[in-house]
Amino acid sequence: MSVIAKLYFDGGERTLLSYNFQANKSLGSNGHPSFLKEMVFNVSFYPEKGDDFFYRWVLNKSEEPQRVKIVLYDIVWKRIVEQHEIIYSTGVQFHSEFDHQLGTINRLKIPALTIITNEIYYTDIRFGGYLTGEIERQKKKQQEEDTPKIINGFWTNLNDTPIQKAVVGDKVRFHIRTENFNNHEEVTALIYDFDSTKEKRNDKLLTSQKTIFIEDNKGFIEWEIKSDECLSLFEDRGEGDFLELYVKCSFKEESIDLPTNKNNYLVLEEKEEIITVLIEIPHSESEGFARKGLGGHTGIIIGEEYYDFGPEGGGKEYAPKTEGGPWWDIHSFDINEDGEEIELTNLTKELIMDILNNEDKRLANNITGEVHLIDIHIKQTEKNKLEEWWDDKYKNFKRYSIYPINGKQCTTIVKTSLRKCTKVLKTITYRQITTLTPKGFSKLLEKNGVHTCGDKKGQVLTISKKYKEIDL
């Protein structure tokens, strides 16, 4: 057994080389042992800074008696093997020995008036009578052991499988384990986001108070992680990558943060959303400005809605400046079973995909060039910002122009929305600022664009689907 011995005294400690204990009893007139007469500890240790304390302790009569402790530790099993507390003691002998092989060794003799050994106390007959028995501390310890305690907590899914990560929108459970609780006792619970820097602790409360009912020293709460409780925190934290969730559990006057190990806090990430940038490349037989690459079109699909921008009224797409507004979104056509064109006033994801997958409908809408669909995986907060940004634009569209100094056009406005609302285009380069053509924007996204959420996070963008141009 790998055991070490420690001497604790007056705020200091020494690792002991050895110690022994002697206890003597008086002999009665009949020759039989009677009362405890003497208890002495002899210890040895190597010199250390602060050993002058022992000289003072032995030599100075005015030095206060000490409460000394000798503890034996099992360093393998990390437990106390034996413990002696010397309640009232004074050193009576201290000397240092030098050995040419062992070096200098300090030796100290400590008589004990009262000692506590493994929770049993003994008192020298000469100092108040022969007393032995279980100390009050043992009773107190027993009381403490009987006190209701919250031991630990952990996160699981609804199948009670332990989890370390969750996504906004998930349903999870938080379990606690207790000791000495009566059935039907209640523990209050508050869920927090752990937010700490070197300067300060700034944890945020996520939910209103919840109640955990204890049965057989265990209980749990069920929680649906709602967007309105969490998404604002992602924005407040700046980086917005994840939250670390713990539960503050309270019972009567006591409270504890669970799980006890911060490594077991629940890592909460944003929900992954997919948006799609739609880019029509000018037809190879285009002429004029279109032939120079300024034809074609750029739009964006967010959720189930399609958004874009163009010259209001139609037919003036190459004018230096004109009022702008939705383009394909309100200037598109469907074809019924009789082959008749039906005007569409609000394109959805379903409708635009239906048009792209039907050559006749593409011709009816003059979508003849090569079409690129680029799916982008983003955070829910980014998607929400994009929706708000485009909804605002639809209420207050400004000037349309193919010249940047005069206004925006379809490609630049989609690029601006991605740059302001997401981290898809992380850096602003000269090429990004001056990219005007749908083809140039497609190449920019493939070269500089990245996914910002999910398994694809950090990966470069690729064309998800490509439609060939239609022969004219």
| Whether CATH 3.40.50.1220 fits 149-270 | no
Virtual torsion, Cα 289, 293, 297, 300, nearest 10 deg: -140
- Flag whether pLDDT at 397 surpasses 70: yes
- Flag whether pLDDT at 28 surpasses 70: no
Q: Which residues pair with 9 in a beta bridge?
A: 12
Of 317, 360, 328, give the one whose Cα is nearest residue 470.
360
Among 41-45, 153-157, 386-390, the range scoring the smallest mean pLDDT is: 41-45
- 312 class by beta-carbon count within 10 Å (0-12 exposed, 13-18 middle, 19+ buried): middle
Separation of alpha carbons 416 and 14, rounded Å = 69
What pLDDT does 144 receive? Answer: 58
Residue carrying structure tokens 């082959």: 339
Residue spans of alpha helices (H) in 211-273: 227-236
Structure token digits, residue 348: 């959805």
Domains of the chain, residue spans:
3-146, 149-270, 274-467
CA 426 and chain centroid, separation: 24
Indicate the residue type of 295: G
CA 456 and chain centroid, separation: 20
Residue carrying structure tokens 């940038």: 277
3-146 in CATH: which number?
A: 2.30.110.20
What pLDDT does 63 receive? Answer: 58
Average pLDDT of the chain is 83
On the CB side of 256, CA atoms within 13 Å amount to 16
What pLDDT does 450 receive? Answer: 96
* Helix 410-421 × helix 380-395 angle, to 10°: 140
Of 193, 207, 204, give the one whose Cα is nearest residue 269.
193
- Taking residue 105's Cβ as centre, other Cβ atoms within 10 Å add up to 16
Is residue 329 within 8 A of residue 408, CB to CB? The reply is no
The residues near 351 (Cβ < 8 Å, ≥ 6 apart) are: 306, 332, 334, 344
Structure token digits, residue 59: 């030599």
Highest mean pLDDT among 122-136, 150-164, 293-307, 319-333: 150-164
pLDDT-derived band of residue 317, with 50, 70 and 90 as boundaries?
very low
Structure token digits, residue 274: 């997919």
Of 60, 58, 69, 68, give the one whose Cα is nearest residue 91.
58
Separation of alpha carbons 404 and 424, rounded Å = 22
Is residue 209 within 8 A of residue 188, CB to CB? The reply is yes
pTM of the model: 0.63
pLDDT-derived band of residue 22, with 50, 70 and 90 as boundaries?
confident
What pLDDT does 331 receive? Answer: 86
Separation of alpha carbons 319 and 71, rounded Å = 92
Residues 148-197: pLDDT tens digits? 999 999 999 999 999 999 999 999 999 999 999 999 999 999 999 998 76
Residues 405-449: pLDDT tens digits? 666 789 989 999 999 999 999 766 655 555 678 998 999 999 999
Residues 82-125: pLDDT tens digits? 888 877 666 678 888 888 888 899 998 888 777 776 555 555 44
Compute the residue count for the chain: 472
Which helix H or strand E contains 390, and what residues bound it?
helix 380-395
- Of the two residues 74 and 259, the one the predictor is more confident about is 259
